[in-house]
Amino acid sequence: MSSLSPPLDCGFNEDTINMTITSLYFLSFIPALIINGVAVWVCMRLQSTSTFMVYLKNLLAADLLMTLTIPLKAASLLPSAPLALKAFSCRYSDVIFYLCMYMSIILLGLISLDRFFKIIRPCGRLLGQNLVFGKVLSASIWVVLLATDVIPTMILTNQDPTNKNNEACMEMKSDAGHGLHRGVVIFNSSIFWVVCVLICFCYICIARKVFKSYRKSGSSNDEGSQ
């Protein structure tokens, strides 16, 4: 195209995209709050007698807390949102949102690993299946993420906001905050991919184990097939 040609207008701008994302956040908030609230209520009535229940309760707590931050995150994306709300969201609620997101990812990995041990090695009992170990491990992960991601990010997001565009949050970070942000992105991305590989590995092994057990059973009827 000629250099004099006007840029293509696809009909979308930053405000339109933010309004769409905000609407999706608000639409998901109520059902997410109800479902997570019921799940937490049910789970709290069950005793933590296994590592699976420990991880599950921590997962539900992380999901519920993440759900509670959705209204602030959504409201801060509105074009008419006050600068103070955008600053609060950037410095606090968004940080909690991503803490809970990656905590949930880690716990999903631990749950898949717990299922792996119980199905692949049903007769053995490893350290990872110890109830006290599960509680200590869950608490330790919360502390590590708070100490390495959350608190430093909140402290180093210490500049006054100057505009309402999508770069406002990055502009609120100090020089050290920018460096920390890059490190946190790499760290969190590594968590995602490691857990993704772990989950795939565990459930492939579990599926193979179940299939082998079915074949050894010699079942040929419809009930056995199901």
89 vs 86: CA distance, rounded Å:
5
Query: Which residue, chain included where needed, has tokens 């701008």?
Result: 13
The reported pLDDT for the residue numbered 19 is 81
Read off the pLDDT of residues 159-177 as tens digits, 9 standing for 90 and up: 877 766 667 788 888 888 8
Averaged pLDDT of the chain: 84
Q: How many CA atoms lie within 13 A of 178 on its CB side?
A: 8
5 belongs to a structural domain: no
Rounded to two decimals, the pTM is 0.82
Question: Does pLDDT of 5 surpass 50?
Answer: no
**Which CATH number do you get for residue 103?**
1.20.1070.10
193 vs 187: CA distance, rounded Å:
10
3 belongs to a structural domain: no
The maximal CA–CA distance of the chain, rounded, in angstroms, is 74
Domain that holds residue 83: 14-212
Going 101 to 106 to 112 to 115, the CA torsion angle's sign is: negative
132 belongs to a structural domain: yes
SS3 81: coil
Read off the pLDDT of residues 21-50 as tens digits, 9 standing for 90 and up: 888 888 999 999 999 999 999 988 888 888
What is the band of 194 on the pLDDT scale with cuts at 50, 70, 90?
Answer: very high
Cα dihedral value 153, 133, 101, 28, nearest 10: -140
222 belongs to a structural domain: no
Number of H helices, E strands in the chain: 10, 0
Question: Does pLDDT of 76 surpass 80?
Answer: yes
What is the band of 130 on the pLDDT scale with cuts at 50, 70, 90?
Answer: confident
195 belongs to a structural domain: yes
168 vs 76: CA distance, rounded Å:
11
Instruction: Provide the domain count of the chain.
Output: 1
What is the band of 209 on the pLDDT scale with cuts at 50, 70, 90?
Answer: confident
What is the band of 214 on the pLDDT scale with cuts at 50, 70, 90?
Answer: confident
